[in-house]
């Protein structure tokens, strides 16, 4: 049975739902502003589903910025177009705390549902 497309679709949906949370955590933990490539490399080094296609991170970063959860500034780089550095805002930290609570509830619920199930 070919389940690969279903697996991939599920991965995609899971990562779409959690990537914003992960990006906020990465930036909340960082001591200095990071640019897209550095963030992508951090996710990559931890592996997992979210490390999928890194091009998915940039639009999300931009949207978090548009929503006021991230601050950004550009700096010229020797290597090409100016790099956009991101830093978490106070609003971002508050939202992150709320998201973590929501995530905790969701995770507990899902684990609770799966607890006694043996395929």
Partner 1 sequence: MNAPVNAIPTPRTLDEYLEQVRAALAGADPAVVQDALYDAEEHVRSELAEHRGVDEADIIAKVASSYGSPEEVAAIYRDTEVRVMRALRTPPAPPRQSALGTFFGVAADPRTYGALFYMLLSLATGIVYFTCAAVGVSLSLGLAILIIGVPFVVLFLGTVRVLSLVEGRMVEVMLGVRMPRRPPYTDRSLPLLARIKDMFTDPRTWSTLLYMVLMLPLGVAYFTVAVTGLALSLSLVAGGFAGVLFGLGLLDFDVVMYGPPLWTAPLITIGGVLMVFVVLHLARAIGRLHGQIAKHLLVKAG
Q: Which residues are at the interface with partner 1 (CB under 8 A)? A: 8, 16, 35-37, 40, 44, 53-56, 58-60, 62-63, 66-67, 77-81, 83-84
C-beta of residue 89 within 8 angstroms of C-beta of residue 70: yes
Picking from 40, 21, 24, the residue whose alpha carbon sits closest to that of residue 87 is 24
Nearer to partner 1 by Cβ, of 13 and 90: the residue is 13
Nearer to partner 1, 53 or 115 (CB): 53
Nearer to partner 1, 55 or 112 (CB): 55
Least distance to partner 1 from the beta carbon of 14, Å? Answer: 14
From the CA atom positions of the chain, what is the Rg in Å? Answer: 17
For residue 54, the minimal CB distance to partner 1 (Å) is 5
Give the integer Cα–Cα distance in Å for 23 and 28.
Answer: 8
Angle formed by the axes of helices 90-114 and 4-29, nearest 10°: 140
Distance in Å, CB of 79 to partner 1, minimum? 4
Residue nearer to partner 1 on the CB measure, 77 or 108: 77
Bridge partner list, 74: 84
Rounded least distance, CB 47 to partner 1, Å? 12
Find the distance separating the first CA and the last CA of the chain, reported in whole Å. 16
């Amino acid at each position: 049975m070919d389940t690969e497309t279903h697996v991939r679709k599920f991965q995609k949906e899971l990562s779409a739902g959690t990537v914003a949370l992960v990006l906020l955590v990465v930036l909340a933990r960082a001591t200095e502003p990071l640019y897209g490539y550095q963030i992508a490399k951090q996710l990559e080094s931890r592996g997992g589903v979210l490390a999928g296609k890194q091009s998915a991170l940039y639009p999300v970063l931009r949207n978090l910025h548009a929503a006021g959860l991230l601050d950004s500034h550009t700096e010229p780089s020797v290597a090409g177009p100016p790099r956009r550095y991101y830093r978490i805002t106070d609003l971002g930290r508050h939202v992150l705390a709320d998201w973590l609570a929501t995530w905790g509830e969701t995770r507990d619920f899902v684990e609770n549902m799966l607890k006694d199930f043996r395929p």
